């Protein structure tokens, strides 16, 4: 994740100390469903989220995109709700709602006045257990999803390049599949594919209800048991390990498309964090890699901005119109450290790629100063902590930790551990984790000859907001 998102999950840098009364509480309902409650009484509003630990990584070849398709179909009714009625009822009580699918999870969320929490809990429990729709409803919605793929991926040369690059990076890990699915799989998908995915994965033991806002913990627990706890427990499917083999040599993707500018991306497979409180080597390195990404691209005027975009230290010669660095930190699957650049006019993709590598090599060779490191950490806190005033962000953070099987106090531990990262640790990961053997390079090559073939006729269906 980009570092602006990393800090979204660091809720325990609160400006006021948490107590047992204000900190999050976690419970297990009688059917195995998890309940997490975070009281925040500063405003009479509440965020309600239902997280299901299933995403694109749980799909199989031939039905890629089915987790995202099911997310759409969850808005299409139950025996007691007509298609679209869920959204209309949330709007009628002054709330807003939506959903999202990622590689790791699917989440449904509403934010409503606190007095209407029970109403949205009943709506969400109903569709979790009783999602129903006819085949014609599916046929209409799959056309919407196919159009969404066209607009987000197929009409974007950059998106297509990154999709191909991701499919090249991973050999066995399911992260190689696009969340929205391959178009051929969407075209071949059937209503029963989606219904079977719902039956398999939408079971109480694979879901968590996360509530943040102006609530009483005991009252919420009682309501959750009555509303969600009555859903019959069912066995959770067995997940088989799909470990990514160690990359033993460089990979490269050259994607030619009708694009105005080239793009170069470098990705290395690196360790991920499994528990921020752990002192194991992978977690130690993951924390240092997070700080390394921030030093390169975590604040205004960062190293990549100054040296590649502004030309500082290069006799004023700009290498890139834009440059970035990001690191995944945590997830259910393997994580990447990625650097990208849009070469400036007259600069080749190879030169831009070498400039990115030079910045890593500079840190590996010279290290970083303690003052620079502290400045980055201070800027993080100052620029990101205000997001925690949002009850939605608090709920999203807690759900992310649950998805990754981490304790609900992980944000406090994570921020403290990040503050403990030393310049020597940053220099060490820069030296050890960026070999050519672990590198995948992706290059978007502008090819004017392909421009005429990129157009298509407009489709009748339009993407929905879900």
> Which residues belong to the active site?
71
- Give the CA angle between residues 266, 271, 277 to the nearest 5°: 140
Q: CB neighbours of 105 closer than 8 A, spacing ≥ 6? A: 51, 52, 53, 54, 55, 399, 400, 403
Composition of the chain by helix, strand, coil, percent to 5: 45, 15, 35
- Check: CB of residue 297 under 8 Å from CB of residue 326: yes
DSSP-derived secondary structure letter, 119: H
How many Å apart are CA 213 and CA 194, to the nearest integer?
Answer: 33
Q: Identify the H or E element spanning 191.
A: helix 191-201
Q: Residues of 10-25 as b/e, b for ≥16 C-beta within 10 angstroms?
A: bbbbbeeeeeeeebbb
Place of tokens 């528990």: 275
Place of tokens 């509530």: 211
Per-residue HEC secondary structure of 150-164 comes to: HHHHHCCHHHHHHHH
Q: Which structure tokens are listed for 310?
A: 């502004």
DSSP-derived secondary structure letter, 406: -
51 - beta bridge partners? Answer: 107, 208
Place of tokens 């509303």: 227
Phi, psi of 375 (to 5 degrees): -65, -40
How many Å apart are CA 380 and CA 299, to the nearest integer?
Answer: 8
**Strands, E, within 278-409: which ranges?**
320-327, 335-343
How many Å apart are CA 80 and CA 98, to the nearest integer?
Answer: 20
Q: CB neighbours of 173 closer than 8 A, spacing ≥ 6? A: 57, 242, 243, 244, 333, 334
**Strands, E, within 189-316: which ranges?**
207-213, 251-257, 263-270
How many Å apart are CA 195 and CA 202, to the nearest integer?
Answer: 10
Q: Residues of 166-199 as b/e, b for ≥16 C-beta within 10 angstroms?
A: bebbbeebbbbbbbbbbbebbeebebebbbebbe
How many Å apart are CA 193 and CA 135, to the nearest integer?
Answer: 11
């Amino acid at each position: 994740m980009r570092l602006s998102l990393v800090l979204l999950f660091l809720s325990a840098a609160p400006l006021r100390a948490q107590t047992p009364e204000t900190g999050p509480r976690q419970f297990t309902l009688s059917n195995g469903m998890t309940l997490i409650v975070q009281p925040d009484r500063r405003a009479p509003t509440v965020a309600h989220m239902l997280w299901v630990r299933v995403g694109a990584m749980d799909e199989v070849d031939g039905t890629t995109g089915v987790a995202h398709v099911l997310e759409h179909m969850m808005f299409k009714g139950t025996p007691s709700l007509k298609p679209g009625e869920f959204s209309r009822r949330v709007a009628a009580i002054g709330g807003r709602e939506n959903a999202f699918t990622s590689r790791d999870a699917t989440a449904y969320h509403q934010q409503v006045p606190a007095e209407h929490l029970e109403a949205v809990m009943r709506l969400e429990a109903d569709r979790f257990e009783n999602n129903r729709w006819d085949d014609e409803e599916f046929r209409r919605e799959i056309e919407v999803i196919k159009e969404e793929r066209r607009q987000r991926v197929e009409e974007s040369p950059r998106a297509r390049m990154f999709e191909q690059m991701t499919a090249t990076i991973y050999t066995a890990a399911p992260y190689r599949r696009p969340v929205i699915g391959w178009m051929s799989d969407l075209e071949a998908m059937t209503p029963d594919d989606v219904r079977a995915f719902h039956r398999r994965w939408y079971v109480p033991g694979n879901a968590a209800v996360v509530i943040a806002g102006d609530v009483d913990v005991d009252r919420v627990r009682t309501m959750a048991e009555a509303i969600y706890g009555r859903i019959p427990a069912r066995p959770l499917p067995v997940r088989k390990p799909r470990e990514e083999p160690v990359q033993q040599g460089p990979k490269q993707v050259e994607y030619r498309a009708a694009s105005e500018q080239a793009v170069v991306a470098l990705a290395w497979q690196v360790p991920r964090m499994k528990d921020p409180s752990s002192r194991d080597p992978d977690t130690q390195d993951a924390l240092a890699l997070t700080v390394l990404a921030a030093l390169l691209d975590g604040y205004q005027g960062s190293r990549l901005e100054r040296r590649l975009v502004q030309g500082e230290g290069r006799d004023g010669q700009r290498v890139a119109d834009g440059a970035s660095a990001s690191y995944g930190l945590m997830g259910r699957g393997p994580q990447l450290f990625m650097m990208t650049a849009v070469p400036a006019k007259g600069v080749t993709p190879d030169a831009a790629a070498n400039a990115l590598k030079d910045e890593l090599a500079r840190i590996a060779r010279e290290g970083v100063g303690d003052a620079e490191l502290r400045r980055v950490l201070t800027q993080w806190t100052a620029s990101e902590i205000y997001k925690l005033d949002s009850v939605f962000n608090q709920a999203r953070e807690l759900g992310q930790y649950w998805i990754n099987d981490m304790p609900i106090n992980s944000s406090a531990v994570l921020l403290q551990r990040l503050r403990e990262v030393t310049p020597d640790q940053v220099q060490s990961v820069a030296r050890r984790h960026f070999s050519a053997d672990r590198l995948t390079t992706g290059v978007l090559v502008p090819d004017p000859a392909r421009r005429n073939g990129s157009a298509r006729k407009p489709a009748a269906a339009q993407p929905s907001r879900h």
